Chain A
């Protein structure tokens, strides 16, 4: 299967790889896994007191499309509000990266990682 140029670019030069301290109150962590292929994705967002995402990092163990999807979303969410980030959909990710149908689950993984991170943020800030 041929990867699109954008997938290859993100795969070869992934943006924002790494981790933040998950115990830092301004850090939200989203962990998700794809049962069909066994890919694991961690997405972390640094959220300021106005609810704006100032930074993002990811770590993904998976195929090129999963790495590209998570790399892309770390770029996209920066500067966005939580509400804007929450509204990002897997179809936007899949379209941007020109993912074939068999790789759509990689974009779903990235969308769910954002949602899981935001959920973590909400449960942290309500405590």
Chain B
């Protein structure tokens, strides 16, 4: 089952999240295992499987990174299980520097202000590589699109590390 088909959405990166959520909820109701409480064991099992597949589909399409990853996976580029390392020196150097910057940020004079600036830099990078992904995907350059997804993975990881630091800062 193709995730986009399940929710009757076109296969494209830009997804209307409200539509996705509405359709998810209505499908969820149809396949909810409680509906089969009086059914046979086989029906119950099937309902559980379907419900879990619908959940996976929703979680995948809801997250921009997972959605992009799914889109290139459909064209044979499995980024999630990619073992080959990336060696783009300039990109990696920038990633290393951003991580160092985040590390130093905590001890800066105004960490919250510094974190705001940091977030806006991350946002720009996310936009840069998301746009690059879209252009490559539209041109059916799936290998290049997969490379954009790989780069996005590093940036989203950095974002979650910045969020962890924010939680820590707000804690005291």
User: A40-B92, A40-B99 in contact; A35/B87 too (CB < 8 A)?
Assistant: no
- Measured between beta carbons, the chain A residues less than 8 angstroms from B84 are 35
Contacting pair A35 B82 (CB below 8 A)? yes
The number of A-B residue pairs with CB atoms under 8 Å apart is 59
Q: List A13-45 residues whose CB lies under 8 Å from chain B.
A: 31-38, 40, 42
Please report the C-alpha to C-alpha distance between residue A40 and residue B13 in the assembled complex, in whole angstroms.
Answer: 27
Contacting pair B87 A32 (CB below 8 A)? yes
A19: min CB distance to chain B, Å = 10
- Measured between beta carbons, the chain A residues less than 8 angstroms from B10 are none
Interface-lining segment among A2-10, A73-81, A105-113: A105-113
Q: Who on chain A is nearest to B156 by CB?
A: A38
- Interface bracket on B: 20 to 34
Please report the C-alpha to C-alpha distance between residue A105 and residue B156 in the assembled complex, in whole angstroms.
Answer: 19
Could you tell me the dominant secondary structure of chain A's interface residues?
A: mixed
| B153 at interface, CB cutoff 8 A | yes
- Total A residues in contact with B, Cβ cutoff 8 Å: 18
Contacting pair A108 B154 (CB below 8 A)? no
| B51 at interface, CB cutoff 8 A | no
Contacting pair B81 A31 (CB below 8 A)? no
Q: Who on chain B is nearest to A34 by CB?
A: B85
- Measured between beta carbons, the chain B residues less than 8 angstroms from A32 are 85-87, 92
Taken residue by residue from 90 to 119, chain B's Cβ proximity to chain A (1 for < 8 Å, 0 otherwise) reads as 011101100100000000000000000000
A-B contact list, 27 entries, CB within 8 Å? A31-B87, A31-B93, A31-B96, A32-B86, A32-B87, A33-B85, A33-B86, A33-B88, A33-B91, A33-B92, A33-B95, A34-B85, A34-B86, A35-B79, A35-B82, A35-B153, A36-B82, A38-B153, A38-B158, A40-B92, A40-B154, A42-B92, A59-B96, A105-B83, A108-B85, A109-B85, A116-B87
* Chain B residues within 8 Å of A, Cβ to Cβ: 79-89, 91-93, 95-96, 99, 150, 153-154, 156-158
* Chain A residues within 8 Å of B, Cβ to Cβ: 31-38, 40, 42, 59, 61, 104-105, 108-109, 112, 116
